[in-house]
Structure 1
Amino acid sequence: MEPRMSKKEEKSLYILGWMLFGAAAVLAGLTRGLHMQMKIFSLPCIFLELTGYYCPGCGGTRACAALFQGKIVKSFLCHPVVVYTAAVFAWYMISHTLEYLTRGRLAVGMRYRDLYLYLAAAIILIQWVVRNLLKLVWGIDIL
């Protein structure tokens, strides 16, 4: 059985989540307020440039940009782990907020499990293999 996090560790993770959410909101506000494009944050993929094939992270920046614009399907197609991560993060934050607001009477806070990380790794591996197979076998470029 997987060891559980202490309440203090869960609370620290929850606070870190709010800090990350705040940083993302500031970044989204800056890019919209200054009419900046996410392209300025995007560097060419060295793995793609050297090998001609996608790395496991290819499409991640575009997926984040699409998600910030509310284009969930486009984000999923660019890199599915971004949508998965956003969904897990949203449920974690919402459920813990409900638990903290009700002072534990509504104990619905999602608990951390390593399984969530293993699922993310599996999604990354699957999309990487599928993208490169599409390119290698059928010549279909995704990006």
Structure 2
Amino acid sequence: MNPKRRSSLIWGASLGVAGLLYLKVWLPLTHIGIPCPFRELTGLYCPGCGATRAILSLLDLDVHQAYRYNPLIFILLPLFALYFIAHKKRLRIMSNGVMAVMLILTLAFGLLRNIPAYAWLAPAAGQF
């Protein structure tokens, strides 16, 4: 394995461990999370609101609650995998198309979850 690849793997593993420590140790002990700046400034939900709680629920294998916190991640994760594969295979038109779809879905989700008729898209009340 070349040194650059090894260094990337070490950095990736370190970030993963740091993320897990933040989610599974720091948050439960302190209940001090990172507030959403968009929500703090506008009072509206951004497309990412509830994502941290969704990830915590997924780590606890509670898929239903994770979906209630942020259903967008369940749509974007497979699309991102498709984008990654298309990008690696140099399928430029396909990767650009998937990226455009992800952007449109994210913007539409961010708008809809703030409309009363689509209140079910807003993050469920949570622990943090």
SS across alignment from 1:37:
helix
| Aligned ranges 1:15-94 → 2 under 5 Å | 20=12, 23-24=15-16, 27-28=19-20, 31-32=23-24, 34=25, 36-37=27-28, 39-40=31-32, 42-88=33-79
Q: Secondary structure at the match of 1:132?
A: coil
Q: Normalising to structure 2: TM-score of the pair? A: 0.54
Cα root mean square deviation, aligned: 4.0
Q: SS at 1:58's partner residue?
A: coil
Aligned identity (percent) is: 23
* C-alpha contact (below 8 Å) 1:47/1:55 kept by paired residues: yes
Unaligned runs of 5+ in 2: 88-94, 124-128
Q: For the structure 1 residues 67 and 55, does the alpha-carbon distance in structure 2 shift closer, same or farther, using more than 3 Å as the test?
A: same
Pairs aligned (count): 110
2:106 aligned partner: 124
Task: Measure the CA separation in 1 of the matches of 2:13 and 2:79.
Answer: 13
Question: Which of 113, 133, 143 is residue 115 of structure 2 equivalent to?
Answer: 133
User: Using a 3 Å threshold, how does the CA distance of structure 1 residues 87 and 64 change in structure 2: closer, same or farther?
Assistant: same
| Partner residue in 2 for 1:111 | 86
Larger-gyration structure (1/2): 1
Cα distance change on mapping 1:80 and 1:43 into 2, 3 Å: same
Distance 1:132 1:25, change over 3 A: same
Unaligned runs of 5+ in 1: 1-11, 94-109
Question: Cα–Cα, structure 1 residues 59 and 30, in superposed 2: closer, same or farther, change >3 Å?
Answer: closer
TM-score between the two structures when normalised by the length of structure 1: 0.50
